[in-house]
Amino acid sequence: MKTDLKGLSARETEEWAVRHGLEPYRGRQIRHWLFTKLAGSSDEMGNIPKAIRALVRENAIINPLEEVKTLESEDGTRKHLFKLQDGHLIESVLIPERDHLTLCISSQAGCAMGCRFCLTGQQGLKRDLSASEIIEQVILVKRSLEDPEHLRNIVLMGMGEPLANYDAVMKALGNLIADDGMNFSHRKVTLSTCGLVPEMKRMGRDITINLAVSLNAADDETRSSLMPINWKYPLTTLIRACREFPLPNRRMITFEYILINNVNDRNQDALKLSRLLSGMRAKINLIPLNPSPNYDMTPPPMNRILHFQDFLVKHHFTAIIRKSKGRDILAACGQLTGAFAGNPEG
């Protein structure tokens, strides 16, 4: 059975090399070619002898994903559709920022969380991604760029709930931020969760990256109606875990708040939110709902969005209205389905 090398740690790659009769340093060389040089095959590993390249080709998986299609939005956002080896489809979104690029990657095919405002959640869960399938999204997109170093930020906000696929996500994150991996700064990597409290606590012990929490309501009745996970981990439990989450100096937890007309956008909702997060090192991303024929909900009018933001700012919160990019290609928040028009997943 072939080994999926991009899912291995540095030590595991050395052990794989030794099991195949090689010196440990050959494992380090192979890892360098995969994560730093972005080699697409063993044939590209120029300083490795031909016999070892053949051994890698025969015993290792190097390409766990196939890029099916790329769409580009009028605002420059690019959506990449990838096929897994079993035929399932996932999406990644490359977002242009002022002086860098941000890549939003998926951790599952589909999602089991069932949030009402998310098209991915309406599909249900198809399966978890492996560590190599998670990190390969970054590799393939980076390989497609004229200036790969322009990609500086990684966000796990694509398809799936990352903390529901904990072990594979942590292994992928380890390779993303490792000096001998892809060498992304841990300050530039963010994981977004709907609020799996036990896994949040594990994450706080296991790795240092940015945490974003999909909050979307400041009372249990409203949040439970939008996000079924709130029945299991209600706001009291979730916010306690957020307050206890270890934060390096000057780091904040980001709370994502999707604004929905006449659901969570009223004055009393802003007041409840300010009280809920009082005293926390928190940044609030306000995200107007991206409309869809699948929803019975709409975004609020802009004047109400601005009023909501103004209330939070006056209560000393950092509150940013996040412009959704890529709407015209269904690449914005909550719109990822693993299907393009004419290419539904079967």
Q: How far apart are CA 210 and CA 233, in angstroms?
A: 21
Contact indicator for 52, 26 with CB cutoff of 8 Å: yes
d(CA 302, CA 304) in angstroms, rounded, equals 5
Q: Specify the amino acid at residue 282.
A: A
Looking at residue 20, its amino acid is: H
Question: Quick check: 102 and 95 in contact, CB under 8 A?
Answer: yes
> Distance between CA atoms of 160 and 193, rounded to whole angstroms?
9
Residues with catalytic roles: 91, 333
Q: Which of 40, 37, 165 is nearest to 112 (CA)?
A: 165
E strand intervals along the chain: 3-4, 60-61, 65-72, 78-84, 89-96, 101-104, 108-110, 125-128, 151-156, 189-193, 210-214, 253-259, 282-288, 318-321
